[in-house]
Amino acid sequence: MTLRLHNFFRNSAGHRVRIALALKGLDYEYVSVNIGPAGEQNSEAYLQLNPQGLVPTLVHDGRTITQSSAIIEYLDECFLEPPLLPADPLMRAQARAFASAIAAEMHALNNSGVHRYLAGAMALEEKKRLQWYAHWAKRGFTALEQTLATQPATSFCFGEKPGIADIFLVPQHLNYRRFDIPLDDYPRINAIVAHCETLDAFKAAAPEAQPDYVEGF
């Protein structure tokens, strides 16, 4: 059985998949796709694999899967232990909703391609671009903090084991730290992220632990 992950060290959606792979204890080949100025995600070879020109892409025994949410659910269905989704249907839906709020409403508005377009075609000055970024970050994290406040106080977002919500939360929190987004208003989120970051699987998946890591990139 072979697993190959096409991603980049500074790739929030790829970071999610790395956490899932590490939590499941799965070995994989790391293929670096430099999404910086090199723009390798738009090379002909990579577009054959992922026509969206986005990372990550997972190749499992020659079968290609794109989109981090689909990849993580696929891994969870192929490799059952430990499960990344709660067993209870309601909690499962809540965990998926939490992850989806990050993937679809927050990250999608703030990812690197969006920034490039705002700075380039839209000629938006950096201050305005950061204002855009901070607006969606605040709106998103405020809602997630409120969601967590309705849950029992557990070590992770939904229960006592790390799962899909934590997998999506940690990379997004890291993005916001990188862009100096004020995070003091989200004590529950901050505590969960701090706890996750003490765990080996989260450490192994962190950008600085990847083979293509470059400081200050």
45 or 87: CB nearest ligand GSH: 45
The reply to whether omega before 182 is within 30° of 0 (cis) is no
Reference 49, options 60, 37, 58, 38; nearest CA is 58
Tokens of residue 52, six digits = 């969206």
Q: Please report, as residue ranges, which positions from 56 to 75 form the binding site for ligand GSH (by CB under 6 A).
A: 56, 67-69
Residues in 37-56 that interact with ligand GSH by CB under 6 A: 41, 53-56
Q: Which one of the spans 92-100, 105-113, 133-141, 143-151 is the region binding ligand GSH (CB under 6 A)?
A: 105-113
Closest distance between ligand GSH and the C-beta of residue 202, in Å?
17
- Nearest Cα to Cα of residue 19 among 159, 119, 166, 135: 166
Q: CB 184 → ligand GSH: shortest distance, Å?
A: 25
Which residue from 111, 129, 145, 204 is in contact with ligand GSH, where contact means CB under 6 A?
Answer: 111
Residue with tokens 């987004």: 181
The dihedral sign for the CA sequence 168, 56, 114, 171? positive
**Position 205 contacts ligand GSH (CB under 6 A):** no
SS3 31: strand
Positions in the binding site for ligand GSH (CB under 6 A): 11-13, 35, 41, 53-56, 67-69, 103, 111-113
